[in-house]
Amino acid sequence: MNVEERFDVFGYRFAFASPCPTACRRVGTLYDRFVVSAGPGDGRPTFSLNRERLSGRPMWNVRLDDELLASEPTLGSGLRSAEFEICTRIAAHRDDRLTLHAATLCSARGAVLIGGRSGAGKSTLAVALAARGYQLASDDVTLLHPGAPPQIYPLPRSLRLDGRSRKLLLRIGLKLPIGRQGFLTDADLDARPIQAPLVRVIVVLEPEPQDGRPLLTSVVQAEMVGALISQVAWRDSRELEALQVLAQLTAAAACYRLRRGSIEQMCDVVERSLEAA
Amino acid sequence: MSAAKPRRRSDIKVEALPDGSAVLYDQAAKMAYPLTVSAARIWQACDGTRTVATIVEELAATYDASAQVIERDVRAFLRHLDEVHLLAPETEVAE
């Protein structure tokens, strides 16, 4: 029997349905801050994850209403595909907001944005900081609403940590509650609801690993805009607007480049930068 | 010193930041160029009325460096602006 939950994530209304209780539970955990009841004339799109046979092979199929979006061999990869499809549409739905690939963490002092190329270590650093009490709002995507300063809307995502990252985190005593599906969310790390916080510190991770202590270097705001531009998804006609939003973001924050060292030391320097901001 | 009067392209958008740095945006090429505080000042000075010598003099009044060093840096930056086509076509940047 299909179980269905309804959500409203920053104005994008959708439902998720699956006969698999684990799938419903995991998606429900990911979007637990955004659960809503059905409304009148509720014709919201429905994402589903079902185990079906395709060409004789059992596969986990992700659908949006009747459209097949993805076929995956395992429940875990099916969940990740479904979550990716949902995330893409949430970001596309709000074209008044800029999509920035950055992790967001919050504390009483304000928010920290961690940018960097894919594989630079944003998620690993974000989870390590969450273990120190920061609220992990998103490890991957943050929507920026124009303003001085811009409002940030961190998008909940499943955490993408490879084997190496998990070992690094285990070495500092962090055992992640990863289930059999490998689908870990910020809610699994006891993240609490986030109000749109003020960004106090922006850190861009340098891609090259460094032996020894991490190096935090203050950069001018324009250099940070230049570093973040490559992490922005925008439409062709809106580059200037994107630059303006990034300028607004960096104008209100202390900006740094961070060359990597050990995870503990990287957390230490980021914490100190937030205390000094 | 050169009598050339560098002039910035009028279609280049500028996002000035509170710390004095700036980002230039070339819409035609879809390229953004972050500028340090000193580079942003040189860019602002490239209005077609100042010679390179004048720009160097103005910067020397603010920065604690020799005129020789400042001139070297100004010329290097102007050459860079020329290479990425951010200066008006008639501007000649001498070595």
pLDDT one-digit tens code per residue, B1-40: 455 899 999 999 999 999 999 999 998 888 899 999 999 9
Contact list in A for residue B18 (CB cut-off 8 A) is 221, 251
% of residues, chain A, pLDDT over 70: 90
> What pLDDT score was predicted for residue B1?
40
Q: Which residues contact A244 (CB under 8 A, 6 or more apart)?
A: A146, B15
The pTM of this model reads 0.86
Torsion of CA A114, A115, A120, A124, to 10 degrees: 20
Q: Which residue has the higher pLDDT, A62 or A173?
A: A62
| Record: contact A251-B40, CB cut-off 8 A | no
Q: Give the gap in angstroms from C-alpha A222 to the nearest C-alpha of chain B.
A: 5
Where does the pLDDT of residue A13 fall: very low under 50, low under 70, confident under 90, or very high at 90 and above? very high
At CB < 8 Å, which residues of chain B contact A?
13, 15, 17-23, 25, 27, 30, 32-37, 40
CB A100 within 8 A of CB A144: yes
- Comparing CA positions, the residue from A117, A126, A153 lying closest to residue A232 is A117
**Which stretch of DSSP H or E encloses residue A58?**
strand A57-64
Q: What is the DSSP letter of A39?
A: -
Radius of gyration for chain A, computed over Cα atoms and rounded to the nearest angstrom = 19
User: In angstroms, how far is CA A112 from the centroid of its own chain?
Assistant: 13
What is the arithmetic mean of pLDDT over B79-86? 94
Beta bridge partners, A102, equal A115
Q: pLDDT tens, B32-68?
A: 999 999 999 999 999 999 999 999 999 999 888 888 9
Pairing of strands B31-35, A12-18: unpaired
CB A245 within 8 A of CB B46: no
CA angle centred on A104, ends A102 and A110, rounded to 5°: 135
User: In angstroms, how far is CA B8 from the centroid of its own chain?
Assistant: 8
Q: pLDDT tens, A94-115?
A: 888 888 989 999 888 889 999 9
| Across A97-101, A136-140, A198-202, least confident range | A136-140
